[in-house]
Amino acid sequence: MIEQGSSMGGKKAKTVEKNDHRLLCSDVLTEVFHRLPARTLASCRLVCKSWMSELTDPHFVHEHLKRSQQKLLLFANDKANDRSLAMVLADDSGSTYQLTRPMASRSLFVHNSCNGLLCLGDSTGSVQLLNPTTGESATLPMPTYTAGSSQFSSCNWHCLGFCPSTKEHKVVHFYLGAHIDSFKVCCEIFTIGDKSWRQIGSFHGAPTDRGVHVNGAVYYLTKFRYIASSRMNCLNLESENFDVLMLPPRKSYGGHCSLAELEGKLCLLVVEGGHENPPRTMDILMLDSGDKTSWTHRYHISLPWLMPSCYFTPKHTLFHEGKIWVQLLARNLYCYDPSSSSDELKMACPESEFPFSTHTFTESIVPLRQDYFIKKMQ
pLDDT tens by residue, 220-256: 888 654 444 567 889 999 999 988 888 877 666 656 7
Residues 180-207: what's their mean pLDDT? 83
Among 199-203, 236-240, 286-290, the range with the most confident prediction by mean pLDDT is 236-240
CA dihedral of residues 158, 72, 264, 186 (deg, nearest 10): -10
**CA–CA dist 83, 354 (Å, integer):** 12
CA-closest candidate to residue 84, choices 146, 151, 141, 172? 151
> In terms of residues, how long is the chain?
378
pLDDT mean over 209-220 = 89
Residue 114, pLDDT > 90, answer yes
Q: Are 234 and 243 in contact (CB under 8 A)?
A: yes
Q: CATH homologous superfamily of domain 68-362?
A: Kelch-type beta propeller (2.120.10.80)
Domain boundaries along the sequence of the chain? 26-67, 68-362
Sequence-distant (6+) residues with CB within 8 A of 73 are 86, 87, 88, 89, 110, 113, 118, 358, 359, 360, 361
Non-local CB neighbours of 152 within 8 Å, separated by 6+ positions: 210
Lowest average pLDDT, out of 95-99, 188-192, 298-302, goes to: 95-99
Regarding predicted confidence, which is higher, 183 or 172? 172
Higher pLDDT, 89 or 340: 340
Q: What is the mean pLDDT of residues 359-367?
A: 87
pLDDT over 60 at 312, yes or no: no
User: For the whole model, what pTM was predicted?
Assistant: 0.81
In degrees, to the nearest 5, what angle opens at C-alpha 66 toward C-alphas 111 and 217?
45
